[in-house]
Amino acid sequence: MELKFDKEKNFQERLWFLHHYSSWVKSVPNEVWSRQHADFINSLFLNGKNYSLSPEEYLNMVNAGKKVRNKRLGSRKVF
Amino acid sequence: MKFKYTKNSISIDNKVLSKLDEFVIDFLGLLDKYCNYVVISGYLPILFGRTRGTEDVDVFIEHVDKKIFVSFYNDLTKNNYYFLNPEDENGLYEMLIENLGIRTAINDTIIPNIEMKFTKDDIDRFTLKNHVKILLNKKFSFFISPIEVEIPYKLYLGSEKDIEDALYLWDIFKKNLDKKLMNRFMNELNVSGEQYGIKI
């Protein structure tokens, strides 16, 4: 199966946007960036009320994800 | 963005608070009565404007005895919170002792939720001891992890989302950070951000 999605290029484009966005945030008053930001976050927050998983299903999902991540990272170095 | 940055505090005025900010402020107002804590990880870049969602807010808490935890548990449940974990207060405390996270949310919701853990190693204890006070709009305050620790730790976690979080915090705070401290944690966690423009 052919897959033309370039993961690295996509990531670099996301980093470019991140720099572009952070430059904008730094250039405008707090009222401006935070109002747009709050609108975005609030829309996600409201959508959370439609979440379809039960607490048990949700915990199973996040714990499965953590197992994969911990396996990748190994135990954290303690210093 | 305008902010006042010192070694132990970051003040932001005229911030339009999101519902996520209000959720965090409300929860930490309850937690603060019972123990020392520090907010870490994904909420921090969001607090400072990064546009991404999150399901949970991660909080380290100091080790407290069971009696204090049960008082906190009772206070939370009186104030419209519940625990997603099926365990009762005794089981939840056992989970904390075993270095597992426990999750609480507003009644009848699942996201966003708060994941709490006891500090378990030296880096956790460093963040708790060297917490940074956030003051929003001269009215609301709470404690977060030092940015100098957060950036290396995000690089250590290493997913695209984590690297973006690290880079965003760097972009916002690079002129203010204690580079010596940050370099210490970069070395301890054996990470580098140079390929992403994080040069210290």
* A22-66 residue pLDDT tens: 999 999 999 999 999 999 999 998 888 788 899 999 999 998 988
Q: Do B122 and A41 touch (CB under 8 A)?
A: no
How far is Cα A44 from Cα A28, in angstroms, rounded to an integer?
24
pLDDT at B193 (0 to 100): 95
Pick from B19, B18, B57, B61: nearest CA to B41: B57
- Whether A49 has its CB under 8 Å from any CB of chain B: the answer is yes
Q: Do A79 and B103 touch (CB under 8 A)?
A: no
Looking at residues B159-185, what average pLDDT do you find?
Answer: 97
Asked if the model's pLDDT at residue B126 lies above 90, the reply is yes
Mutation for B interface: A31, A76, A78, most B CBs within 10 A? A76
Tokens of B167: 């880079």
Strand partners, B118: B61
Q: Model pTM?
A: 0.94
Other CB atoms within 10 Å distance of the CB of residue B26: 14
Asked if the model's pLDDT at residue A79 lies above 70, the reply is no
Could you tell me the pLDDT band of residue A75, with boundaries at 50, 70 and 90? low
- Whether B109 has its CB under 8 Å from any CB of chain A: the answer is yes
The letter for the amino acid at B75 is D
Task: Report the b/e string of B156-191 with b at 16+ CB within 10 A.
Answer: bbeeeebbbbbbbbbbbbbeebeeebbebbbebbeb
The letter for the amino acid at B110 is I
Could you tell me the pLDDT band of residue A7, with boundaries at 50, 70 and 90? confident
Could you tell me the pLDDT band of residue A5, with boundaries at 50, 70 and 90? confident
pLDDT at A39 (0 to 100): 97
Asked if the model's pLDDT at residue B93 lies above 70, the reply is yes
Residues of chain B with Cβ-Cβ distance to A31 below 8 Å are 14, 16
Other CB atoms within 10 Å distance of the CB of residue A27: 10
Q: Give chain A's end-to-end CA distance (angstroms, integer).
A: 46
CB half-sphere exposure, B44, CA atoms < 13 A:
32
Asked if the model's pLDDT at residue B139 lies above 90, the reply is yes
pLDDT in tens, B5-56: 999 999 999 999 999 999 999 999 999 999 999 999 999 999 999 999 999 9
Asked if the model's pLDDT at residue A78 lies above 80, the reply is no
Q: Which residue of A has its CA nearest to B19?
A: A42
* Per-chain mean pLDDT for chain B: 97
If you count them, how many residues does chain A have? 79
ipTM exceeding 0.90, yes/no: yes
Q: In degrees, to the nearest 5, what angle opens at C-alpha B151 toward C-alphas B150 and B153? A: 65
Q: Measured between CA atoms, how close is A51 to chain B, in angstroms?
A: 7
Residues B164, A14: contact at Cβ < 8 Å? yes
Q: Which domains does chain B have, with CATH numbers?
A: 14-145 (3.30.460), 147-190 (no CATH)
Tokens of B87: 């365990």
Strand partners, B81: B106
